[in-house]
Structure 1
Amino acid sequence: MVVTCQENIEVQQELAQKYREEIGRRIWTLAEKNLQLLQGIMVFLAWYQTHWVLGHQLSNLMYVAMSLVTELGLDKEPSSGTRTAPGVLTEITKNQEPQPVRTSDERRCYLGVFWLNSLLRICVKDIVPMPPRPSISNSCSVLEVGMESPWDTYLVQLVKIQLVASTISATLYQDLDRNEAQISHTLFMATSHVERQVQDLGATLHQGSRLQAPLTMSFHMLQVYLYKIGIDERLHEPTDPTLINTSDPSPHALRCSYLLVSCLNAVKAVIENFLLLTSPTILSMPYTYWIQMGHCINMFSRLLVTHSTLWDPNLVTGVHDFTSTLERVAVKIEGAMGEGAGMTPPRYLPSMFNQMRQKLIDICKKVGESSKAMAQGYAETPTAPESFDTGNMMMDEQTEALLFGFLGDGNFL
């Protein structure tokens, strides 16, 4: 009811508040744990934009869902128990009943929580990850073979995208020591290895016309996650300064440029696929797709304010390109809002979108100022800027607040 009550935003928020209270009552007071409760929390979390104004509870809701997955044993196959598994004394006298085979709904729910967790980690904040256990791949295989619902294939493909994202995280980001002055050039080799996995996955992703755009959007978001490692300025200053030769670009310089241009192209591809969505789809779009858009706008802005001897954003893009892109996004969303207002019953997006155009204008202005200042500052100093921390914006707090105040919540990776 919270998600579908789009004809009255105030009533929608009242229902959302009551549901938040009901979640707390049923979990903490009544100690409930069942699949239906988990499914409700998943839907509530997936359309987080409908109730984020009530107070930020994104991480708490995600952890509650993950906890229920564990309590219900959805992350384990019935035959996966071992003699070395954790246990307490009560299990000695407990009747050992045979475990039933996982139902399709349980598998869908498990995969859905994994997908949500992975996307939030990529786009919003570095929360605790759900490990890509073998049960994830097994659940995907079972749903693919069963074909009980036309949506199962779509869910499985989304999950496969995030499984590769887990590989990228473990390969590139998990052990990245942010205290190091420079990053080893071997990172380029690791990036190339994972890039092949991404390309192989892309060749297998196909859906009907209605679902192809959001699926492709998620795939390009995966590419953004892969290539954004190039924004880390420690890569721009190799351990051997002789590797950089302005008259003859080195392999190091070419690889850095390749990562940055690829990241820019992936960002634009996400936005272009968003612009292909129909108005009814935009009006019903889950929070997970809004944060992909927000993260891409964020990454676009970072590319504009990144300046080094290996990267001048004005050679391939510019603030004017950024501005025109955000203008197209604004026109698309406002068109959907206008179309929704004329429906019977009317359908409205949450109040956060009402001042969207002005917010985007402010973002463009601040990014333009930051980009100009960074370019001027780099030109005036012979040393490289401070190392880029992938957990923080390379611009002032006001710009950051504008960015994640629209299409986001929390600190972007």
Structure 2
Amino acid sequence: MTPTAASPYPTDTLGLRTNRACRNCVQIKAKCVPVPGSNSFTCQRCHRLDKVCTTPAPVPRHRGRNKSNRVAQLEERINNLTSLLTSTKPADEVPNQPSSHAQQSMLTPPVSIIHDPDQPSCQSSSHAKSACRPPPGNSASNDADKTTHFRTRLPPAIEERLFSDFRTYMNGYFPYVIIPPQVSSASVREEKPFLFRTCIAVACHVDPPVQRQLGEELFRHIGERMLLKAEKSLDLLQGILVLISWYQCYNFYNPQWMNLLHLASALAIDLGINRPNHSGPWPPVGMVVDTNQLIHGKSVNHGCKTSDERRALLGVYYLTAELAACFRRVDSMQWTHHLEDCCNALLAADEYTSDIEAVQMVRLHRMVGRYHDGSVPLENVPISTYARCVQDDFQRFRKDLPASLDGSTRFELHVLSHEISSLEHIMSSGVDTALARAGALYTCLKRVGNLIDCFTKFPATRLQYIPFMIWIHLLHAIIVIAKLSFLEAEGWDLQYVRTSETSFPATCTGLIAYLEAASRQCQGESQVPSPVSARFNMSAEKLRQCLKWYENKIQAEAESMASTEPCVVRNLPPFDPALEGFFEGFDDGLWADFTGDFGNTGMQF
């Protein structure tokens, strides 16, 4: 059939082309089927409707922008950022830094620079992420450079500053990973790149976007090196221990605390430092050896040979024991003669004074472990006997402490927290008289007050450096006061607990004032909000919501007593599931009732 009109598109060609659809079929998105026949240049639809069957001209493909120009732009941007960073004011003029910082750490610029108040930080922008990637061809091999996959590159001056901050203000809180003062940062970066990177990440709390990016790269590094490449090194173990200890920096967006702890325990086993040097005859080569290597791989070491290995093993025991006391469902490492030998070897070597604190902390957990392992059910022991055993053990432990730990606030805080945790079991026991129960619970309440006093002795400028477990101990104490404030037991005077100096409202009010004062002190004279002060203000706001929860519960209790109807909570906001995570991690017997009622505040984050 002859078409009745010419094509309105001058660029089209008449007839069909191989593997191409005609103009009319393309416009209505219909399938273009040629008319049967070897010489047919018309589709069935155009033939049926008597239309001109033309094929549109192919659309030219546009290539991307010139890559060489793009690389030049990125290089120029990096040079501009570097020049801006190196020209910033020194550290002693930067807000949120302690006044003594100028004498104890290097004078280097802050981490992040914001060019425009209306624009995001340069470290968090997509251009900066592209610029931070290492240029192709710079890395020789994976074995020669284990940090090539760290895409975030900070200027050397900033790395020195952050590493100096960690050594000066943070390392003393965790004595199980020691960075010798005579060792330079360049040596640590070369010999232990992952530990160096972890120290920089946990010290970068003044710039949350950069810290988040550094943390994500650390997790990626762990997965790649341990799971994909089966790497076993003391560098990895020490870095993971540091990452666990300051986990509050990453807790709110990447909950991997338990996974990191399990990886640290497995790495200690794979390194072979969890058992003593083998002195007896070796087993025959065969199925036993093959099976052991199949499970753990080939051991790097056989026993602890250095002080760093002993500290790392004791650090794994310390962290698992801490979580066993708080989470209940987590099993601590089994105490062995090898752990005792590691303690004795560290004390005999007498390399650092912090080794004394590390050993005593481990021995404290060994002592309190008997109250948490469930080997002796509390229901079968009189309360008076149990409380007397707890008090005698802790009194003996304090008496035998070395003189170097006298007056140590953070060590006494740990001791008080575990004494509270040991006495806390009395709430669920029904054995013995009401007087014995009341006496033990009042001792527990007194220890809670002592712990709050210890926490408020920390200088406000050092709160940003304390590790995660200290915050856990503080939260544990707040929950214990809340439970004691509503404990219904014979002989327990709720009126006294609710009006004493250690009452829940008085404790929360005092902590709110302390955190707000710390926030103002971190802001300095300029009173400009910073990420550090914002964290303290957020914690103070959470404590205010705790007070609202307490007031609502007291009001509901008064209404239920005045009414003849069953207890019904009226006129309270609905449950907010976001609040449940505030006390997440503690066992049901400790926090379930508290968090269920705490949601009545209706707080929104």
How far apart, CA to CA, are the structure 2 residues paired with 1:353 and 1:400? 22
C-alpha deviation, 1:228, in angstroms = 0.5
Q: Name the residue aligned to 2:290.
A: 90
Q: Name the residue aligned to 1:223.
A: 419
How far apart, CA to CA, are the structure 2 residues paired with 1:31 and 1:185? 48
The answer to whether structure 1 residue 26 and structure 2 residue 225 are counterparts is yes
| From 109, 112, 118, the counterpart of 2:312 | 109
The answer to whether structure 1 residue 42 and structure 2 residue 241 are counterparts is yes
| From 307, 321, 328, the counterpart of 2:510 | 328
Q: Name the residue aligned to 2:485.
A: 304
The answer to whether structure 1 residue 280 and structure 2 residue 461 are counterparts is yes
Residue 227 of structure 1 contacts residue 260 of structure 1 at CA under 8 Å; is this kept in 2? yes
How far apart, CA to CA, are the structure 2 residues paired with 1:72 and 1:198? 35
Residue 482 of structure 2 contacts residue 594 of structure 2 at CA under 8 Å; is this kept in 1? no
RMSD of aligned Cα (Å): 3.8
Map 1:70-89; keep pairs closer than 5 Å.
70-79=269-278, 88-89=288-289
Q: Name the residue aligned to 1:260.
A: 441
Amino acid at match of 2:236: L
| From 363, 366, 388, the counterpart of 2:546 | 363
The 3 A distance-change label for structure 1 pair 96 and 184 is closer
Gaps of 5+ in 1: 178-182, 239-250, 382-387, 407-413
Map 1:370-409; keep pairs closer than 5 Å.
370=553, 373=556, 390-397=589-596, 399=598
How many pairs does the alignment contain? 375
Identity of aligned residues (%): 23
The answer to whether structure 1 residue 6 and structure 2 residue 205 are counterparts is yes
TM-score (norm 1): 0.79
Partner-residue secondary structure (3-state), 1:394: helix
Q: Deviations over 1:10-61 (max 9, x none)?
A: 2111111111111111111111111110100000010010011222111111
Q: Name the residue aligned to 2:342.
A: 139
Identify, as 1 or 2, the structure richer in helix. 1
Residue 206 of structure 1 contacts residue 212 of structure 1 at CA under 8 Å; is this kept in 2? no
Amino acid at match of 2:456: L
Gaps of 5+ in 2: 1-199, 565-586
C-alpha deviation, 1:125, in angstroms = 5.4
The 3 A distance-change label for structure 1 pair 185 and 356 is same
How far apart, CA to CA, are the structure 1 residues paired with 2:494 and 2:404? 36
The 3 A distance-change label for structure 1 pair 14 and 101 is closer
Q: Name the residue aligned to 2:494.
A: 313
The 3 A distance-change label for structure 1 pair 34 and 185 is same
C-alpha deviation, 1:82, in angstroms = 8.4
The answer to whether structure 1 residue 270 and structure 2 residue 469 are counterparts is no
Greater CA drift, 95-104 or 117-126:
95-104
Residue 505 of structure 2 contacts residue 547 of structure 2 at CA under 8 Å; is this kept in 1? yes
Q: Deviations over 1:50-105 (max 9, x none)?
A: 01122211111111111111111222111477889997243899999994652100
The answer to whether structure 1 residue 128 and structure 2 residue 309 are counterparts is no
Amino acid at match of 1:216: E
Partner-residue secondary structure (3-state), 2:485: helix
Q: Name the residue aligned to 1:158.
A: 361
Q: Name the residue aligned to 1:246.
A: none
C-alpha deviation, 1:272, in angstroms = 0.6
Partner-residue secondary structure (3-state), 1:148: coil
Amino acid at match of 2:549: K
Greater CA drift, 280-289 or 188-197:
188-197
Between Structure 1 and Structure 2, whose CA radius of gyration is higher? 2
How far apart, CA to CA, are the structure 2 residues paired with 1:315 and 1:92? 60
How far apart, CA to CA, are the structure 1 residues paired with 2:370 and 2:532? 35
How far apart, CA to CA, are the structure 2 residues paired with 1:92 and 1:256? 51
| From 251, 255, 267, the counterpart of 1:52 | 251
How far apart, CA to CA, are the structure 1 residues paired with 2:237 and 2:495? 48
The 3 A distance-change label for structure 1 pair 371 and 125 is farther
TM-score (norm 2): 0.55
The 3 A distance-change label for structure 1 pair 66 and 188 is farther
Map 1:177-196; keep pairs closer than 5 Å.
183-186=379-382, 188-196=384-392
RCO higher in 1 or 2 (8 Å CA, sep ≥ 6)?
A: 1
